Structure 1
């Protein structure tokens, strides 16, 4: 894909998010996340079938999330402008009850992905 990949991944999954990704993978095939810097649902991590969301020079590949029992990792992309704001944080993808965006694959499940962040470094 030719975009920047950070050597030290700054994103991980909670066990609940990994469980949901296994379910979504069975239904939709390989997956990816994209985190934009928009408002409302645009600031939530969006889960798509791999390749469904086109990435480019305005995006950074933060990491490849390994999910036990799933052959291929789930790529986690972030818009470059959002990364500039969050570059000092470690991100954790979690899942909570509630309805997320209609474009993200978890929406019909009655849950939504969200990001929890923790400042790293000094």
Structure 2
């Protein structure tokens, strides 16, 4: 265990599904964007087929898979740890988890005051 505060973590179920997708498609990435419909779910794409934009920030990695978020949503959730999980249902239309009757879901946990202070001192921002 590390003292590093992780902005994004994954449950064992999410790590299992990531492993399945990587075995089938090769390296993947996640993008969590704000918006309606599928845009509010974590979307999983083949890493070589998705372009990260200037407005996207890297939150971290789960199971060796990078997780990005749109800057505006990242700023709104700056004090929240994202927890990538899996629940029954269909994934987003363009997400690789679609059609598996399991989909990724992002849960959140608000950081405690001490964690926020460590994050702010690490990044120099709020």
> Could you say which residue in structure 2 is the equivalent of 1:12?
9
2:50 aligned with 1:53, yes or no? yes
* Structure 1 or 2: more helix by fraction: 2
> Could you say which residue in structure 2 is the equivalent of 1:110?
101
The alignment of Structure 1 onto Structure 2 pairs a total of residues equal to 110
> Could you say which residue in structure 2 is the equivalent of 1:79?
70
TM-score, normalisation: structure 1: 0.85
Is the partner of 1:109 in helix, strand or coil? coil
RMSD: 1.3
2: CA distance between counterparts of 1:59 and 1:28? 23
1: CA distance between counterparts of 2:13 and 2:103? 11
- Spell out, residue by residue over 1:46-80, the C-alpha distance to the aligned partner (whole angstroms, 9 max, x if none): 001113221121000000212xxxxxx10000000
Matches within 5 A, 1:34-45: 34-45=31-42
Larger Rg: 2
Is the partner of 1:37 in helix, strand or coil? coil
2: CA distance between counterparts of 1:114 and 1:92? 8
- Spell out, residue by residue over 1:78-101, the C-alpha distance to the aligned partner (whole angstroms, 9 max, x if none): 000000111100110001001121
TM-score, normalisation: structure 2: 0.82
